[in-house]
């Protein structure tokens, strides 16, 4: 999923018409969008989609891959109907400027050009952390939920293929006691992968700086009702454009793993 970035004034003038059009379209299509200031920028950016710049040095089950925007685990090799996982919203440790991090479950994106996903975010704007949640049916723009999000909140997310082009996406904050369920359609979704991911969001200019999220733990990860580990997913580590490792991923134990931000990146 692509997130916010600083836009030069000249570029903003050029894009203002498309911003208004996109905001109007989303307001008509979804009752769940947030009226927070970041939402307007969300419609300027094109949401990030499939795994980017993936390198797969290992073949076969439980192989390893690197990517400039994804880390975590992704199962491929068949079509998938559902994916789910739980995680704890981490604390963003902010430095000057903007940094961004997303935590989500989804279908597609590894071996396909669509992504059906829902999750939470921990970003930094002007040195201050910002937290929120969303769903996205890439290549459409993400839609932010208006519910409050805080570090330490316990999330459970799921994406389920219903039939035809229909999907159900559900995100629950069990700490605060809210839940959002949305039904969306997306033509051409091949359901080529099922993943539980930490992401460095992107803008039209490329992958954005990854926020220092400390450590995030995912648990209860399943795809098609089976523990994710039983499907032999690939382990994905995030690297910078120069190849420097940006986080570390623990071994997948059943449906659990941790991702830890790497200060050397």
pLDDT in tens, 33-51: 332 333 333 333 333 578 8
Per the listing, tokens 């109007």 go with 24
| pLDDT over 50 at 163, yes or no | yes
pLDDT averaged over the chain?
83
pLDDT at 265: 57
pLDDT at 31: 31
Q: How confident is the model at residue 141 (pLDDT cuts 50, 70, 90)?
A: confident
pLDDT at 52: 86
- For 89-138, write each residue's pLDDT tens digit: 999 999 998 999 999 999 999 999 999 999 999 999 989 999 999 999 99
- For 252-261, write each residue's pLDDT tens digit: 999 999 999 9
Among candidate residues 229, 171, 190, the one with its CA nearest the CA of residue 107: 190
Question: Which domains, and CATH codes, for the chain?
Answer: 9-261 (2.60.120.700)
**Cα–Cα distances in angstroms (integers) from residue 38 to residues 125, 206, 230, in the given order:** 10, 19, 39
**Cα–Cα distances in angstroms (integers) from residue 233 to residues 80, 133, 175, in the given order:** 13, 25, 29
């Amino acid at each position: 999923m692509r997130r916010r970035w600083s836009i030069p004034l000249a570029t903003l003038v050029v894009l203002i018409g498309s911003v208004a059009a996109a905001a109007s379209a989303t307001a008509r299509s979804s009752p769940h969008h947030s009226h927070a200031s970041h939402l307007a920028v969300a419609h300027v950016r094109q949401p990030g989609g499939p795994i980017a710049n993936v390198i797969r040095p290992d073949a076969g089950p439980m192989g390893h891959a690197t990517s400039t925007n994804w880390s975590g685990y992704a199962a491929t090799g068949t079509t998938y109907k559902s994916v789910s996982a739980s995680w704890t919203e981490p604390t963003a440790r902010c430095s000057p400027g903007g940094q961004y991090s997303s935590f989500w479950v989804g279908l597609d994106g590894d071996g396909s050009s669509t992504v059906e996903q829902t999750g939470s975010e921990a970003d930094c704007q002007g040195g201050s952390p910002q937290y929120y949640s969303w769903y996205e049916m890439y290549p459409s723009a993400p839609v932010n939920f208006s519910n409050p999000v805080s570090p330490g909140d316990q999330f459970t997310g799921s994406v389920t293929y219903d039939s035809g082009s229909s999907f159900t996406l559900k995100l629950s904050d069990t700490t605060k006691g809210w839940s959002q369920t949305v039904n969306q359609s997306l033509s051409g979704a091949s359901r080529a992968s099922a993943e539980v991911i930490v992401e460095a969001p992107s803008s039209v200019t490329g992958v954005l700086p990854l926020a220092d999220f400390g450590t995030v733990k995912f648990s209860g990860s399943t795809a098609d009702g089976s523990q994710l580990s039983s499907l032999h997913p690939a382990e994905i580590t995030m690297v910078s454009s120069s190849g420097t490792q940006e986080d570390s991923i623990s071994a997948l134990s059943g449906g659990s793993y941790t991702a830890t931000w790497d200060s050397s990146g």
